[in-house]
Amino acid sequence: MTSGRGMVVGGMSVDTSATDDLQALAQALRARGWRLATAESCTGGLIAAACTSLAGSSDWFDRGFVTYSNEAKAQMLGVDPGLIVQHGAVSREVVCAMAAGALQHSRAHVAVAVTGIAGPGGAVPGKPVGTVWLATAVQGQQPLPRLLHCTGDRAAVRATTVTEAIAQLRRCAGETAPPAATR
């Protein structure tokens, strides 16, 4: 749903730039004939909700995985539990495995994954509240991870993550050469 200030997803306001990026993402995916999958932990499906808030999203949105627990990351996306034990669920390694797993377990050409600490609890040494790892992946290419340091309360961390994920997807879909082999 959109409002004068942007989009409202899951009761949270997401800024206008995210709405513009989402429209551009949809257009880029349609132009390429690509489909998108999401793998979400700390956002709990909000990226998928933002995508499917657009009419016609069934043309380009394939599916969303909400993998809040470590068990879900392993079962639904094929993330190696040893990777989670070694690096933690909120890590570059795990988010890249989530993005790759979303591609492997879908018919998508591009995927985004997020895992983080939205708060107010959950912080551990070296990973304060607001620590979020985001990765985009395109078929046939290595995932592109990015570390976010979000501020604010739980809703703000989640809204910022949605905005950043959509922006990174837009760049990925608009600037990446099409994969050699499509699914």
Which CATH number fits the domain that encloses residue 16? 3.90.950.20
CA–CA dist 118, 160 (Å, integer): 10
State the total domains in the chain: 1
Chain segment 66-87, per-residue pLDDT in tens: 999 999 999 999 999 999 999 9
- Say which amino acid occupies 120: P
In a domain, 101, yes or no: yes
Tell me whether residue 141 is in a domain.
yes
Q: In this structure, is residue 183 part of a structural domain?
A: no
pTM: predicted TM-score of the whole model, two decimal places: 0.89
Residue 29 maps to a domain = yes
C-beta of residue 98 within 8 angstroms of C-beta of residue 113: yes
Residue 6 is predicted with a pLDDT of 56
Measured from the Cβ of residue 37, the count of other Cβ atoms closer than 10 Å reads 26
Is residue 22 domain-resident?
yes
Q: Is residue 10 part of a domain?
A: yes
Each residue's pLDDT tens digit, 117-158: 999 999 999 999 999 999 999 999 999 999 999 999 999 999
Domain assignment of residue 181, yes or no: no
Per-residue confidence (pLDDT) for residue 14, from 0 to 100 = 57
Mean pLDDT of all residues in the chain?
90
For residue 23, the tally of other CB atoms under 10 A from its CB is 14
What is the residue range of 151's domain? 2-175
The predicted pLDDT at position 176 comes to 56
On whether the CB atoms of residues 9 and 18 are closer than 8 A, the answer is no
Query: Is 180 inside a domain boundary?
Result: no
| Residue 93: its H or E element | helix 92-104
Q: How far is CA 6 from CA 51, 55, 168, in A?
A: 13, 16, 18
